Homo-oligomer: A and B are copies of this chain.
């Protein structure tokens, strides 16, 4: 993570130990984390930590484009560091084996365009697969 304090400040948020720890944690994690994961980590690190704060922070950071939300991943939310916060156009693929997530570039949709008679306002895509490294480890040649 390049410059966490500045990133937080730019988002109009105060730079707090909790937020720094959250960004550091997510930056060290190859897979998206749930509020509970984050809370567990903060409890270890600080001895105490409130779940409501975790939810507020994750949501605030996601709102600012620093994190993004992975929807429909079990029943709990998951968040990951946005690989490229400047590019508003992000879709990701998750490895169901190791949890790694990567960005997918190509996308022909952009909000505002017409799609099937609708004016598109937002779009999201979720891909699940087996990443290259997991593919080579076991024989996932066919699903």
Q: Which residues of A contact B (CB under 8 A)?
A: 71-72, 93, 95-96, 102-105, 109, 111-112, 115-132, 135, 140, 142-143
Contact = CB atoms under 8 A, between A and B. Distances in A.
A37 B118 CA distance: 26
Nearest to A102: B116
Main secondary structure of the interface of A (DSSP, over half): strand
Identical copies in the complex: 2
Contacts of A117: 102, 131-132
Contacts of A121: 96, 128-130, 143
B115 A119 contact: no
A118 B102 contact: yes
B127 A120 contact: yes
